[in-house]
Amino acid sequence: KAGVTQTPRYLIKTRGQQVTLSCSPISGHRSVSWYQQTPGQGLQFLFEYFSETQRNKGNFPGRFSGRQFSNSRSEMNVSTLELGDSALYLCASSLAGLVGYNEQFFGPGTRLTVL
């Protein structure tokens, strides 16, 4: 079974631009979560999508948005990029929706650099 894939793996943008990152979950997984990882703040939860609906949202400004498609693939968008948005963006997928615990599997991440 293929793992979680994220594209692109590396991205360089300039301040003020916008960017779209993509995440393809493991086949059959319906939940996709996004995290931002920086040296200063660590890993912070951005949002989670389940069955095309945002189910949970972290404490990030409205410049950060996401969506999920009917095939469970998810995209996140950051508009008006700032230097502080430079980070590793991780997505994780899980079966979810079932009783009990469902392991989250992480992708390799997209390294975003804002100049």
> What amino acid is encoded at 96 in this protein?
A
On the 0-12 / 13-18 / 19+ scale of CB atoms within 10 A, 97 is exposed
Interface characters, 22-61, with other proteins (x: CB under 8 A) = ---------x-x-x------xxxx--x-x----xx-x---
d(CA 21, CA 41): 20
**One of 81, 94, 110, 114 touching other proteins (CB under 8 A):** 94
- Could you tell me where the DSSP H helices lie in 14-54? none
Question: The tokens of 91 are what?
Answer: 């997505």
Q: Between residues 16 and 84, which has the closer beta carbon with respect to other proteins?
A: 84
Residue 91 CB, nearest approach to other proteins (Å): 11
Q: Contact residues for other proteins (CB under 8 A)?
A: 3, 31, 33, 35, 42-45, 48, 50, 55-56, 58, 90, 92, 94, 96, 101-104, 106-109
